[in-house]
Structures are given as structure tokens and as C-alpha cells.
Amino acid sequence: MTDTRVGIVGAGPAGLVLSYLLHLQGVEAVVLEARSRSHIEQRVRAGVCEQPTVELLREIGVGARMEALGMPHHGLSLRFDGADHRIDLTGLTGRCITVYGQQEIVKDLIAAHEEKGLPIEFGVSDVALHDVDGDRPRVSYTDADGHARELRCEAIAGCDGFHGVSRPSIPERALTTFERHYPFAWLGILARTPPSHSELIYTHHERGFALHSMRSPEITRLYLQVDPDDPVDDWPDDRVWSELQQRLATGDGFRLREGPVLEKSIAPMRSFVVEPMQYGRLFLAGDAAHIVPPTGAKGMNLAIADVRHLARALKALLRDGDPAPAAAYSDTCLSRVWRAEHFSWYMTSMLHTDPATDAFGRRLQLSQLRYTASSRSAATSLAENYVGLPFEGA
Ligand code: RFL
Ligand code: PHB
């Protein structure tokens, strides 16, 4: 039996940033993570950090590697009709995004925990939450050595992603679920080859969406819209490159650089929100509470925005005896969550090829793309959502 103030389930960006913010505010916490440290440090996921995310990581002192290795981007391309239409993010908003891999942020946060001696238990199993509607909730689990353990706390943060145990611990009648499925998935590859363009390229093509991104001057990250039922084995490297070359082709001879494929996986796409994001002393944050399709590059950024509010709310509740911010936590987060849900749905619908749509639907998409590329107001709307609205402003 261990006592702590906050039990944090999950060591993704949400759980790790929360734990570190609580430490800075003098609130003790323990993080429990199902996977091994090396697994979560290698897991390839997000790449785009909004400006508010970058500022927060810098402010809390974990931004040094991001500053050295992250790549600030001041614009992006919408590619359709075989040509690029640049959205000048910085010119339109005064802000920019930074391309820096999620697993690098995770590595930086774990290193900061190690340096300060903050507890993270990796490789735990059988995690179960108890008494979450009272003042002394508990987390039981089996540790990496196979011993049964229990954590007694004053609050639990469910930061265990979409497939975690936290959300299902809340009685179904207490939650309302909002959901949308899309008839496509993303196949992502990491390739050892320099990026073929200095910025991200979001491509609308009749064969399906494609995205050119990067991780470093030597590593390119690419995504292809595929059928959600496609097994990854149906996509050998030469098929992936051929499809990418066709979708990314332009009228002026753009050539995508190819190279050895280091990683390949298929991720489904969905939109999902539960309301409220709290039940008793259990607070959900990040993918445990909401999912966006990756086209808007919002998931990790939202997870970090949630825990910024949660850290403040837990400090008020547990140190200052003020329950008001904790009571407002869900509403405070949900306004930003729904903005990101809308933006991600909008980017997804505008850029992908829906196998079920008709000629009318395709004309509407092209009209939306042309308008966004040619109207300063429409481009500004895309840009200000993409770079990230201020934490208090969504
Ligand atoms: P995570 O990262 O899923 O972390 C949850 C952690 O909880 C652990 N866990 C458990 N631990 C203990 N007990 C249990 N029972 C547990 N069950 C699970 C898991 O092992 C894991 O370590 O959730 P978090 O922290 O909320 O972070 C969310 C982000 O990971 C996610 O939203 C982003 O990756 C989404 N995303 C993107 N977001 C961006 O902001 N910008 C992007 O450019 C971007 N690109 C992407 C993306 C997601 C993608 N995929 C793979 C869906 C690109 C892709 C392809
Ligand atoms: C990425 O680089 O992984 C990435 C970039 C933009 C997105 C999603 C993912 O919208």
C-alpha cells in the first residue's frame, strides 16, 4: 500500500506533463504505465507541436532538446489540382508550429522525472480504479515484478489513452458519448531520406489524401489515406512509394525522395468525445476523453492543454482547499476540445476522398480548397486553428 496525492494512469504526453506540473506546484503524484520505458520512447506518433505546447514545455524547463532539434515551420502547403497553395501561418497569425516527434517529448519528460527522482512505474498490469466517487480513491495493480500493489490517493488522473481502463471505470449512465467514424485510415511511414520540401504538404487527390511531413533533415514522415480494413501486409514498400508518387505529383515535376522504410503502421480515424471529463475524484485527460482524426494535428496538443488545466485544478483542490477549478475542469477543457474536434473534422472532410461521395460532394471539396487557398479570411481561419489558439482563448 502506497499513499500519494494524485494517482496518474498512463505515461503518454498527458500523464507525464501532468505529473511534472504537479511536482512544480508541490503536489505529490505517482505515474503508472502499462508498457515498458523503451516501448513508449520508441512509439512513433505526433509530429506537430502548436505554439502554446512549445511555450509550456519551454516554461517548465523541458524544452532544451526541442529548441535544439525541433523544426519551426512558418507555413504549410495545400496541394490540389497538381499545384501548391501555401498557407503563410506566421504572416497570417504571427505564430508558427514546431515539428518535433512526440516520442522525443516523452523522452525529455521521462529524463526530467528521472533527474528529479519523480516516480514512474513502467510495465504495470491489472490496473483497476476503486472508490472514485469518494475522497479516497484507490488504484490497484500488479507491478513489473508480479507483486499486487495498491495506491491510495486523493484524486486519480485517467491519462491512459483511448483504450485505457479509466473511462470504462465511470458508470455508463454518467457519460454522454459523441462519435464519428470515417471510411478511411492513415498508413504512416518513417523513411530514411531527406524531406522533399521544406514544409508540410497536405494533398487532396482523387486517389486519396497524402501528407508529406518530416522528423529531421534526414528523416521523412509520410502518410497515405488507405481503406480501414487494409492489412499493413497489403502495402509493401514499393506500393507505398508508387502511391505516394502519384498522389504528390505536381504539374511542375515535384519528385518525392525515396529511401529505406524504417517504420510502417496503419491507424484508424475517428472523432470521439465523452462528457463530462470528470466523475467524482476521477479526471480524464487527453485521448482517454477525446479523439480527433490526425489531419488537424491536434491530439497531443489537446492532451497537453487538458493537463495544464488539470494541474491547476488539482493544486487548488488539494493544496488550497478550493474545489471550484476542479468542478469547472470539464467545461473549461470541453470548449477547446470541441474547437479542435470541429477543426479536425473540417480538415479531414476537405482533404480526403470519401469513397461514398458523389460528384456533387467532390465539387464542394474542391470549392472549399480553392476558397481556402485564395481568401485571406479563410486562410487565416485555418492558420489560427492550426498554430493553436491561446490556452485561455478557445
Ligand atoms: P497516449 O499517448 O495514448 O498515452 C496513454 C498511455 O497510457 C498507457 N496505458 C496504460 N497505462 C496503465 N494502465 C493501463 N490500463 C493503460 N492503458 C494504456 C499507454 O501505454 C500510453 O503510454 O495518450 P495521451 O497522453 O492522451 O496523448 C495523446 C496523443 O498520444 C495523441 O493524441 C497523438 O499522438 C495524436 N496525434 C497527433 N497529435 C498532435 O497533436 N499532433 C500530431 O501531429 C499528431 N499526429 C497523432 C498523429 C496520432 C496518430 N496516431 C497513431 C493515431 C499522427 C498519428 C498517425
Ligand atoms: C506528423 O508529422 O506525424 C504529422 C503531421 C501533421 C499531421 C499529422 C501528423 O496533421
What are the tens digits of pLDDT across the range 331-378?
Answer: 999 999 999 999 999 999 999 999 999 999 999 999 999 999 999 999
Cβ atoms within 10 Å, residue 224: 24
Report pTM: 0.97
pLDDT the model gives residue 390: 83
Does the pLDDT at position 1 exceed 80?
A: no
Torsion 108-114-119-125 (CA) sign: positive
Kindly list the catalytic residues.
73, 202, 294, 298, 386
pLDDT of residue 128: 98
- Residues linked to residue 26 through DSSP beta bridges, in sequence order: none
Interatomic CA distance for residues 356 and 298, integer angstroms: 26
**Model confidence over 155-199: pLDDT tens digits?**
999 999 999 999 999 999 999 999 999 999 999 999 999 999 999
Residues 351 and 79: their CA atoms lie apart, in Å, by 9
Confidence band, pLDDT 50/70/90 cuts, at residue 393: low
Range 271-291 average pLDDT: 98
Task: Kindly give the number of the ligand 1 atom that is closest to the alpha carbon of 186.
Answer: 55
Condensed to tens digits (0 to 9), the pLDDT of residues 71-107 reads 999 999 999 999 999 999 999 999 999 999 999 999 9
Distance 14 CA to ligand 1 centre (A): 8
The atom number, within ligand 1, closest to the CA of 302 reads: 40
The per-residue pLDDT of the chain, averaged, comes to 97
Pocket of ligand 1 (CB under 6 A): 9-15, 32-35, 40, 45-48, 102, 124, 127, 159-161, 164-165, 186, 188, 267, 286-287, 294, 297-301, 303
* Cell triple for 325: 477549478
Q: Which amino acid is at 298?
A: K
Three-point CA angle 19, 156, 161, nearest 5°: 75
Q: Are 364 and 70 in contact (CB under 8 A)?
A: no
Q: What is the number of the ligand 1 atom nearest to the C-alpha of 188? A: 55
Average pLDDT for residues 25-30, to the nearest whole number?
A: 97
Which is it for strands 261-275 and 71-73: parallel, antiparallel or unpaired?
Answer: unpaired
Kindly report the backbone phi and psi dihedral angles of residue 250, in degrees, each rounded to the nearest multiple of 5, phi listed first: -125, 170
* Distance between Cα 349 and ligand 2 center (Å): 16
- In 10 A of CB 56, how many CB atoms? 21
Domains and CATH numbers, the chain: 2-72+97-178+271-348 (3.50.50.60), 182-269+355-387 (3.30.9.10)
357 residue type, one letter: T
What percentage of the chain exceeds 70 in pLDDT? 99
- Pairing of β 76-80 and β 148-152: unpaired
Mean pLDDT of 126-141: 97
Q: Going by CA atoms, what residue is nearest to atom 3 of ligand 1?
A: 161
Mean pLDDT within 50-76? 97
Instruction: Tell me which residues have their CB closer than 6 angstroms to ligand 2.
Output: 46-48, 200, 211, 213, 221, 294-295, 297
How does pLDDT run across 216-249, given as a tens digit for each residue?
999 999 999 999 999 999 999 999 999 999 999 9
Residue type, 293: P
Nearest to 279 by CA among 171, 197, 177, 152: 171
Sign of the torsion formed by the C-alpha atoms of 309, 50, 291 and 368: positive
| Cα(384)–Cα(89) distance, integer angstroms | 8
